[in-house]
Copies of this chain bind each other. A is one copy, B any other.
Amino acid sequence: MCRWLAYSGSPILLEELLYRPSPSLIDQSLHAQMGAEATNGDGFGVGWYGLDTTMRDMPDTRGPDVPVLFRGVEPAWNDQNLRELARSTSSGLFFAHLRASTGSPVQQTNCHPFRHDRWLWMHNGLIRDFALLKRDLALAVDPALYPSIEGSTDSEVMFHLALTFGLTDDPVAAVERMVGFVEATGRRHGVEHPVQMTVATSDGERLWSFRYSSEHQSRTLYVSAAISTLRNLYPDNPAFVGLSDETRVVVSEPVGSFAGAWQPFPESSYGIVQPGDDVIGDFRPREP
């Protein structure tokens, strides 16, 4: 069971969310609290979009919209470089992921988030009997995208299938098609419940989150309450000062210890954090 966190809002230092809450995402990865698989020591990754606007003037060799990746194979709690970066890097849209492998090797190319141009993708869960399904799934990936699969995880294949099915044009429909295709492929091979997932993806402007599983017992996913609500609940807390009303955090498990701060996603749903009103809707897999 992996853990992840996606942030969208006023630019903040990464450490504000990775290290400072108690318990923090990093704390949770080390000290198991809710089950047998709760140690997340099999690599980690952070991806962030171009810092504040002053930095956007700086010529970046891939363009300012391509997010930056930092991924490592050691446990996040031991990584000094992550600590240094978290205290010096601010971003208004970033992903963090702590991996607990379900079998594939611990190597940088298997660490989330995965990146394709401006898009990031991260996943908690698995495709069941992936070894059985892998070839059929890989063959369905757009041949032009096939060579950019660098690792060996189910998560990266899901990302490339979603790209194949139109992620950059209509993310919700593309993920619904991807899941529908994996479920159909799985059933053909006799796998009863092929998909278990929470997923986050972004293009640097909006943040899509998904909670779904074939058996309708999906892993947890939470979104932070509106900042205005939190300011009312905790009028004296400096953590919420200076954050715009649009600021949102999506997490696999709650971090910190603010009662009322987290709202669970419904079973089989998706959410969109974006400028203006956010959206939440039903997630319905469809065969492509």
Point out residues on A near B: beta carbons under 8 Å.
11, 13, 15, 30-32, 36, 39, 41-42, 50-52, 54-55, 58-62, 68-75, 77-78, 80-81, 84-85, 87-88, 90, 101, 105-109, 131-132, 134-135, 138-139, 143, 146-147, 149-152
Q: Are A87 and B70 in contact (CB under 8 A)?
A: no
Query: Which of B11, B69, B74, B81 sits near A70, CB closer than 8 Å?
Result: B81
Copies of this chain in its oligomeric complex: 4
- How distant is the Cα of A77 from the Cα of B75 in the complex, in angstroms? 12
Q: What residues on B are CB-neighbors of A109 within 8 Å?
A: 105, 107, 152
Cα separation A70 to B79 with both chains bound (whole Å) = 10
CB closest chain-B residue, reference A52: B54
Closest residue on chain B to residue A31 by CB atoms: B36
In the bound complex, residues from chain B placing their C-beta under 8 Å from that of A11 are 58
Min CB distance A237 to B, Å, is: 15
Chain B residues within an 8 Å CB radius of A90: 55, 58
27 CB-based A-B contacts, threshold 8 Å:
A11-B58, A13-B60, A15-B61, A31-B39, A32-B32, A39-B39, A39-B41, A41-B78, A42-B78, A54-B54, A55-B55, A55-B90, A62-B87, A68-B85, A68-B87, A68-B88, A71-B80, A71-B81, A75-B75, A80-B108, A105-B107, A105-B150, A109-B152, A132-B147, A134-B146, A135-B146, A149-B152
- Contacting residues, chain B, for A70 (C-beta < 8 A): 81, 84-85
Contact of A32 among B31, B55, B60 (CB under 8 A): B31
Residues of B within 8 A of A108 (CB): 80, 105, 107
Q: How far is the CA of A149 from the CA of B135 in the complex (A)?
A: 11
What's the minimum C-beta distance from A9 to chain B, rounded to whole angstroms? 15
